[in-house]
Amino acid sequence: MTYRWADCDLDSVSTRYDHIANLIVLFEWLLFLPRDLRKKAVGHLALSRGGTVLEIGCGTGRNLPYLHEAVGQTGRVYGVDISPGMLGKARSLCEANDWRNVELHQCDAAEFAAPAPLDGVLFSLSYNTMPHHQVVLRRAWRQLRPGGRIVIMDAKVPPGPSGRFVLPFSLWLMKHTLLGNPLIQPWKELAAIAEHVEMKETLFGSYYICHAIKPFVVATNVDGAAEDLDVNYQIAAE
């Protein structure tokens, strides 16, 4: 049997997440999200104090404490989400902690433009919910500085017979709750634009973190000397 996934439009995704904004912690518990997975995902960004990072699909701000800690008071954290209900929770979190270097934007991630090249981009349980995920990924890659990192943390169907067994239920559950597409393989889509992708699975292959570093391009100038090229905008969005 072949299973398919019908992506929702962005308005439907936004509305759904508005409705479940108060239930994110409950869903994490019901879906056995490993407690340290968010912290590990941020760790793979290898951020430094004073750095700049973008979280695409920041939701209620569950990763913001880790991102803010990683870049410090002198760094900058940008969060993008299309759901006003989710962002309302994230803004309350920022206000409660007086995080003045965190900027939250309600918009389509495919249209967001950071004011400067980014040190890191994080997709955390968000990539699989985006019907235009490849467009968003390539736009994020263009805004990443050479040497910067993209990290995608999400859920997937585990391998082997157990995965085939739970797939029908997983599809039903996602369609009625989080709208995450368990059939896509982000690590392959990231590999299409990055030279080297690393991936680690956990919880019997049900969750993963994949990441890639944007390379420096070395070219020869008119004098025959090697020079580094900024390749932030070399890849066109689909």
Instruction: Give the tens place of pLDDT for each residue, 89-114.
Output: 999 999 999 999 999 999 999 999 99
- pLDDT-above-90 percentage for the chain: 74
Residue 51 to residues 22, 31, 101, Cα–Cα distance (Å) = 31, 32, 11
Distance CA 181, CA 130 (A): 8
Instruction: Give the tens place of pLDDT for each residue, 163-184.
Output: 888 888 888 888 889 998 888 9
What is the rounded average pLDDT for all residues in the chain?
A: 89
Distance CA 113, CA 119 (A): 14
Which three-class secondary structure state does DSSP give residue 202? strand
Please give the CATH number for the structural domain made up of 10-229: 3.40.50.150
Joined tokens for residue 169: 């239920």
In this structure, what are the phi and psi dihedrals at residue 153, rounded to the nearest 5 degrees?
-115, 130
The CA angle 69-194-238, to the nearest 5 degrees, is 100
